[in-house]
Structure 1
Amino acid sequence: MNRMMELRARWTLVTGASSGLGQEMARSIARDQGGNVLVVARRRDRLESLCEELRSRYGVQAACIVADLSRPEDVERVFTEATREREVHGVILNAGVTYWGEALKLDWSAFQAMLDTNVTSMVRLSTLFARHFVEHGTRGGLMLISSVAGFIPVPYQAAYSGTKAFITSYGQALAQEMRHKGVSVTVFAPGGISTELLEKAGLSDRFKAGDLGVMSAQECAAHALRAFIHRKELSVPGLLNQTLTLAARLLPRGFMAQRTAAMYRPER
């Protein structure tokens, strides 16, 4: 499938859009592509402020759906509301949560919420929208935001890296199944991004924008949108991140995990 996606005057849904990478991708769609944006996240005030910004500054249509994607009923509602009054052409599944610390100290309810947000909601929404695209003859696209952590076992982010490994494998497999149906699936796997997520994980003091492999949200969003529009099946932005994913294929996984543990160990 070589034909580029056209987002101008079409609706693209972006989850996790109240901050960070999701917010910057929504801005990029409106500013650089002239596309309409449907943003999804938990914080209504931030979503409404973003929609007003996109409408007034870039002259596009923008709407929001307030939802917690760790809740199955909210996931179903997002699809229903998104497709009720508009034709969605693109879907960017970016919402995610992380945890930095010893795996044994991760609260079970927090792990379940991570699994529901990072994995279950992505599988459910990608299935619903892909089926919708096929049934309506929409030659649209899906993008699943994964991570370099999906290629490397990451001690002290064990659960997070496990969820991203699933998304990388699932997304690449789904891309092959959808190729002959006219729907593209892109897995985007960035490294560190200087966002609110990094701050919440407690890693912002260690990894900052400008450090090797760490991008600003705006720079990362530009890479992501380029991959999405060109319908790439897998995109890893940045030379260092690309080198890490290559090393993950060539070097023993135990060695990679050991070196990563030394970098992420909390008492370092």
Structure 2
Amino acid sequence: MKTVLITGASSGIGKAFAELFAKKNYRIVLASRNEEKLSGIARQLRDNYAVSTILIPVDLAQSDGPILLHGQLMEMGIAIDVLVNNAGFGSFGLLHEQDVRSELEMLQLNVHSLSHLMMLFLPAMVSRGSGSILNVGSTTSFYACPLSANYSASKAFVLSLTEAVSNELQGTGVIVTALCPGATGTEFFRSAKMDGQKVSDPKTLMSPETVAEIGYKALMSKKTIVVPGFQNWLLTQAPRFFPRRFVTRITRSVLEQKL
């Protein structure tokens, strides 16, 4: 039986991935700091799909989170076949007005912990000659995003890291894919205090289940990058055809629009 580790599994895209991999009969390792939600999801997975589930409550927004997570799995003798690096959050507003501690925790989670987990789990995958990692980026991985400056920069890191490591791993049997969704119907906008912006309009949001399905298919097809939805893909191509300064202005104007 193969085992998948999903970070940020308590809601949204992470939860959708958990259900998707459960349907494929994977053993599911759920990692998130919300232990209560994790317990409920694990129970649902066991009841609905009769799969084995393991809960690891851990705060990956703290620097020791990845080591604690990896260490617990090593103590349990559990090898990870698929790592879904989904945990992350965003923020909204002018950078100089943001809470410094919250922004640094976001960078720890979106950047440092994601990279740290890759470095912890990749050696065993390469040694076995098999394994997969899916890193959740964003359409903002492709362009600067005023009013979400640190968030978009963190997702640009995810895309760059994925592309580079994917090249490094050629011939090893290990696959790394970046899933770069656009606006999705998750708790992201509420937690980022963006639920009053037009970009968070529920009528325009892609479902987390659809995003997860597209990401899963891309991973199984050994793609390096996948952007769900044609319109989202077009957005990611804008910096290729327009001056970056122009794209940045347009991005800000879109984020400033209210419902």
Give the TM interval when normalised to the shorter protein. Answer: over 0.9
The match for 1:158 among 116, 138, 149 is 149
The letter for the 2-side match of 1:92 is V
Partners in 2 of 1:138 and 1:54 — Cα distance? 29
Could you tell me which residue of structure 1 aligns to residue 10 of structure 2? 18
Superposed CA offset, 1:187-225 (max 9, x none): 1100111111112222234223431xx311111111111
Could you tell me which residue of structure 2 aligns to residue 208 of structure 1? 201
Partners in 1 of 2:258 and 2:237 — Cα distance? 29
Superposed CA offset, 1:153-184 (max 9, x none): 11101110000011111111011001222110
> Which segments of 5 or more consecutive residues in structure 1 lack a partner in the other structure?
1-8
The match for 1:65 among 53, 56, 60 is 56
> Which segments of 5 or more consecutive residues in structure 2 lack a partner in the other structure?
none
Shift of 1:266: 7.0
Is 1:80 paired with 2:64?
no
The match for 1:129 among 114, 121, 133 is 121
The letter for the 2-side match of 1:155 is P
The answer as to whether partners of 1:94 and 1:145 remain within 8 angstroms in 2 is: yes
Could you tell me which residue of structure 1 aligns to residue 42 of structure 2? 51
The match for 2:100 among 87, 97, 108 is 108
- Please identify, of 102-111 and 37-46, the stretch whose mean Cα deviation from structure 2 is larger: 102-111
Secondary structure class of the residue paired with 1:125: helix
Shift of 1:259: 0.5
Secondary structure class of the residue paired with 2:56: strand
Shift of 1:249: 2.0
Could you tell me which residue of structure 2 aligns to residue 4 of structure 1? none
The answer as to whether partners of 2:181 and 2:232 remain within 8 angstroms in 1 is: yes
The match for 1:252 among 234, 243, 256 is 243
Task: Identify if the C-alpha distance between structure 1 residues 163 and 246 changes in structure 2 by more than 3 Å, giving closer, same or farther.
Answer: same
Runs of 4+ in 1 over 6 A off after TM superposition: none
Partners in 1 of 2:89 and 2:124 — Cα distance? 27
Please report the TM-score for the alignment, with normalisation by the length of structure 1: 0.91
Partners in 1 of 2:52 and 2:124 — Cα distance? 22
Identical residues among aligned pairs (%): 28
Partners in 2 of 1:228 and 1:199 — Cα distance? 29
The answer as to whether partners of 1:118 and 1:164 remain within 8 angstroms in 2 is: yes
Is 1:36 paired with 2:27?
yes
Partners in 2 of 1:63 and 1:193 — Cα distance? 27
Partners in 1 of 2:77 and 2:135 — Cα distance? 24
Shift of 1:126: 0.6
The answer as to whether partners of 1:194 and 1:204 remain within 8 angstroms in 2 is: no
Shift of 1:267: 7.3
- Please identify, of 16-25 and 240-249, the stretch whose mean Cα deviation from structure 2 is larger: 240-249
Please report the TM-score for the alignment, with normalisation by the length of structure 2: 0.95
The answer as to whether partners of 1:14 and 1:40 remain within 8 angstroms in 2 is: yes
Partners in 2 of 1:14 and 1:115 — Cα distance? 19
- Provide the alpha-carbon RMSD of the alignment: 1.5
The answer as to whether partners of 1:194 and 1:208 remain within 8 angstroms in 2 is: no
The letter for the 2-side match of 1:145 is V
Is 1:27 paired with 2:12?
no
Q: Aligned ranges for residues 201-240 of structure 1 at < 5 Å?
A: 201-205=192-196, 206=198, 207-211=200-204, 214-240=205-231
